[in-house]
Amino acid sequence: METIKLIHSQTRWLILLAGIVAIVMAMISYKKEYNKSENTASLVFMILCDIQLLIGLILFFNSPNGLEAWMSYGFDLVRVAPIRKIALEHVLLMLLAIMVVHVARSRVKRASTDKEKHRITLRNFILALILILAGIPWDRLKF
């Protein structure tokens, strides 16, 4: 489980990088057409988020800081800050962020103009990145 936690922890850098790249590419091509590389950058960001979701679910069902914490604390968990931060806030913020990324991709597919595609990508990905940054438990990490 320690190895899985380490992989989950380090994947955060790839996700942050992929999110920034996708945002920068949407900014650069804002006044141009929605091109293949912009779509690839956004797809990579979404795939990394989905991989992280899978690893996160494995952790949630096996780590003492996931479901097990819920089982032992019940709703009192909200009053124990360190456990609440990881077993509740972290999970909720990340699920929300991943949902925002998926909504962006499906809305971009349906958008009729390139300008709209850039705008949806920018708005949703910036929001997702803020949620991810807020949800990362920085205080319990050494690097």
Q: Report the interface residues with ligand HEM, using CB under 6 A.
A: 5, 8-9, 12, 15, 49, 52-53, 56-57, 59-60, 63, 65-66, 86, 90-91, 94-95, 97, 132, 136-137, 140-141
Tell me whether residue 25 or residue 100 sits nearer to ligand HEM (CB atom): 100
Q: How far is the CB of 126 from ligand HEM (least distance, A)?
A: 15
Can you tell me the distance from the alpha carbon of 143 to that of 141, in angstroms, rounded to the nearest whole number?
A: 6
Tell me whether residue 34 or residue 41 sits nearer to ligand HEM (CB atom): 41
Tell me whether residue 8 or residue 115 sits nearer to ligand HEM (CB atom): 8
Q: Which residues contact 141 (CB under 8 A, 6 or more apart)?
A: 9
Q: How far is the CB of 83 from ligand HEM (least distance, A)?
A: 10
Q: How far is the CB of 64 from ligand HEM (least distance, A)?
A: 6
Q: How far is the CB of 95 from ligand HEM (least distance, A)?
A: 5
Q: Cβ-closest residue to ligand HEM? A: 56
Helix and strand numbers, DSSP H then E, in the chain: 6, 0
Tell me whether residue 111 or residue 126 sits nearer to ligand HEM (CB atom): 126
Can you tell me the distance from the alpha carbon of 114 to that of 106, in angstroms, rounded to the nearest whole number?
A: 14
Can you tell me the distance from the alpha carbon of 25 to that of 77, in angstroms, rounded to the nearest whole number?
A: 41
Q: How far is the CB of 140 from ligand HEM (least distance, A)?
A: 5
| Burial class (CB within 10 angstroms; exposed 0-12, middle 13-18, buried 19+) of 72 | exposed
SS3 28: helix
Matching residue, tokens 């320690």: 2
